Amino acid sequence: MDYLRRIGRKDILILFIIIIAAAAVLAWLYVDRERNRAVVLVGADADVAIAAYVEDDAPPAVMIVHVVGEVYYPGVFEFELGADVRVHHAIERAGGKTVYACDTLNMARAVRDGEQIRVFHIDDSDRLQAGEALAPGEPALININTATYQELQQLHNIGSARASAIIRHREARGGFNSIEELMNVAGIGQSIFDGIRDRITV
């Protein structure tokens, strides 16, 4: 009787082990099938997934506008492409017009991508109001009392060193009373002055 009981316990243990093994195999088969199914789904939707990723990570399209002349911070500025950008928006982005700017621009005009907006100096206002158009690409006069470091370097033979010297000189003496006083700046002689006298004002 004890022998039969021992045999029965052994059979039960073997059966229990077989059941556990079978359950483990079934679980592995199920997980493997789901993994393969997921791979197939990803492969089928790969184009859609990649397109969505590219769309999310793509930089926004922009419109680029260059503002120069009598504004406080001349430079290149970006706006959202397709936005209703007017001239006054671009000038505001450049810090607004200086006190030396003449009021000749149509501030309500729509701005185009790649456009340059030039705010003219008041010294050019008489010519503009008289109907005398400035030639295409003709630069506005540069006021040596208010011009920035970058604007001064637009003048012929005025590099970084001379631009810095001009700014130091006008700050030390409260500005220039005439364009001829520019020759009092170290490094600027008659020949350099003659080459830029038609481009400057005070």
Confidence at residue 85, expressed as pLDDT on a 0 to 100 scale: 92
The Cα–Cα gap between 169 and 84 comes to 43
Q: From first to last of its 202 residues, what are the pLDDT tens digits of the chain? A: 454 455 566 667 777 788 887 777 777 776 666 655 544 444 444 444 444 444 555 567 889 999 988 899 999 999 998 889 999 999 999 999 988 888 878 898 888 888 889 888 877 655 554 444 454 445 568 889 888 888 898 888 898 899 999 999 998 988 888 889 999 998 899 988 888 888 888 8
DSSP H or E segment with residue 112: none
List Cβ<8 Å contacts ≥24 apart for 190-199.
192/156, 192/157, 192/158, 192/162, 195/156, 195/157, 196/155, 196/156, 196/157, 196/158, 199/139, 199/141, 199/142, 199/155, 199/156
- The dihedral built from the CA positions of residue 103, 91, 171 and 195, taken in this order, carries a sign that is negative
CATH of the domain spanning 141-202: 1.10.150.320
Confidence at residue 125, expressed as pLDDT on a 0 to 100 scale: 58
Q: Are 100 and 69 in contact (CB under 8 A)?
A: no
Distance of CA 9 to the CA centre of its chain: 80
Quick one: tokens of 86?
A: 């007017």
The Cα–Cα gap between 82 and 85 comes to 8
| Amino acid identity at 113 | D
DSSP H or E segment with residue 44: helix 2-44
Q: Are 60 and 110 in contact (CB under 8 A)?
A: no
Confidence at residue 41, expressed as pLDDT on a 0 to 100 scale: 41
Confidence at residue 4, expressed as pLDDT on a 0 to 100 scale: 46
Tell me the pTM: 0.39
Helix, strand, coil percentages (3-state) for the chain, rounded to 5, are: 50, 15, 35
Cβ neighbours of residue 143 under 8 Å, at least 6 residues apart? 70, 100, 121, 200, 201, 202
Confidence at residue 162, expressed as pLDDT on a 0 to 100 scale: 92
